[in-house]
Amino acid sequence: GKTTVDSHHAAYCARHKIVDASDVKFLHQVVYGCQRYKRLLKVFISSFYYNHSGEAARSDQSLYTVLAYLAILRLEELTFAQFKRLIVSMDFVKTRVFLRFLFSEEALNKWLKEGWLTLYEPHYVQTELIDQVLKFEPQVQRLVEELETRQAMGEAKKAAETEAAIALAEGRGGAGKHTVPQPFNLTRPAPRVVPEPTQVVAITNEAARSGEPIKARTWKRPDGPPKDQLELDAK
Judge whether residue 83 has pLDDT over 90.
yes
The 3-state DSSP class for residue 231 equals: strand
221 pLDDT band (50/70/90 cuts)? very low
Distances (CA, A) of 149 to 64, 83, 167, 175: 23, 19, 27, 30
Rounded Cα–Cα distance for residues 137 and 55 (Å): 21
pLDDT for the residue 198? 45
pLDDT for the residue 32? 95
Give tens-digit pLDDT for 138-183.
999 999 999 999 888 877 777 777 877 887 887 775 545 555 566 5
2 CB-near residues (< 8 Å, 6+ apart): none
Burial of 72 (0-12, 13-18, 19+ CB in 10 A): buried
Dihedral-angle region of residue 171 (phi above 0 means left; psi in -120 to 50 means alpha; beta otherwise): left
Specify whether the CB–CB gap between 72 and 133 falls below 8 A.
yes
